[in-house]
């Protein structure tokens, strides 16, 4: 949707947003992150790999990684060429391998090889921005965290939850509209809605469970 038309779209009030999220909760009672993992390190690595890549593809790659590299130290001393080969199918494999090795070296140097549980610490790691940090904080450490990826950005704009293009501002807008204990599940519901229903090019408006709440001028008639 063009920026100009989005600016003309009125944003939802907290009460309207609450009704929208209540309806979405009924459609997705227990939304789960789709990156397979058992540990914080596995989720951190998987999220780094998920940049410009589908979760499905990442899930095909991570089992071999988890067998080969069990700790941050294993990644820190990894042979770059071998790691690149294992993650090649996720795209941008050279920069991802560099970030993973650098990230795990930083974990060893500053955090005794353990994944930290604060935003301030996580974003100091190579290859880790707020999105990746929030995935780990919300889905492993169970701390309130709003994840903003391309799906959350698109759906939040279409629904009138934000008028911003900036992921940090979108995160703040969603934080204001949701109680903290709903930050993680609320943003995950938006993410999954964008991944499977409110698609970028051909949204499935006929299947949308929150169609009546949607103010997007580009939505398709039922």
Q: Which of 96, 131, 153, 173 is catalytic?
A: 131
Candidates 144, 134, 150; CA nearest to 183 is 144
| Active-site annotation holds for 149 | yes
Q: Which of 149, 181, 217, 219 is catalytic?
A: 149
- C-alpha to C-alpha distance for 195 and 151, rounded to whole angstroms: 6
| Active-site annotation holds for 79 | no
For the annotated catalytic residues, the residue numbers are 131, 149
């Amino acid at each position: 949707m063009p920026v100009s038309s989005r600016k003309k779209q009125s944003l939802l009030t907290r009460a309207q947003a609450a009704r929208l999220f209540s309806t979405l909760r009924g459609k997705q009672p227990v939304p789960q992150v789709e990156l397979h993992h058992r540990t914080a390190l596995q989720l951190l690595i998987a999220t780094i790999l998920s940049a410009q890549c589908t979760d499905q593809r990442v899930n095909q790659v991570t089992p071999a990684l988890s067998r080969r590299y069990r700790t941050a130290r294993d990644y820190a001393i990894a042979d770059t060429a071998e790691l690149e080969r294992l993650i090649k199918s996720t795209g941008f494999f050279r920069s991802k391998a560099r970030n993973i090795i650098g990230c795990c070296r930083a974990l060893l140097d500053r955090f005794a090889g353990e994944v930290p549980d604060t935003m301030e610490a996580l974003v100091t790691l190579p290859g880790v921005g707020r999105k990746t940090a929030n995935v780990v904080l919300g889905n492993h450490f169970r701390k309130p965290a709003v994840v903003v990826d391309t799906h959350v950005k698109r759906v939040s704009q279409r629904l009138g939850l934000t008028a911003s293009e900036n992921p940090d501002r979108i995160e703040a807008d969603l934080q204001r509209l949701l109680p903290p204990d709903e930050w993680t599940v609320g943003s995950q519901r938006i993410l999954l809605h964008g991944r499977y229903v409110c698609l970028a090019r051909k949204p499935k408006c006929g299947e949308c469970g929150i169609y009546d709440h949607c103010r997007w001028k580009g939505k398709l008639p039922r």
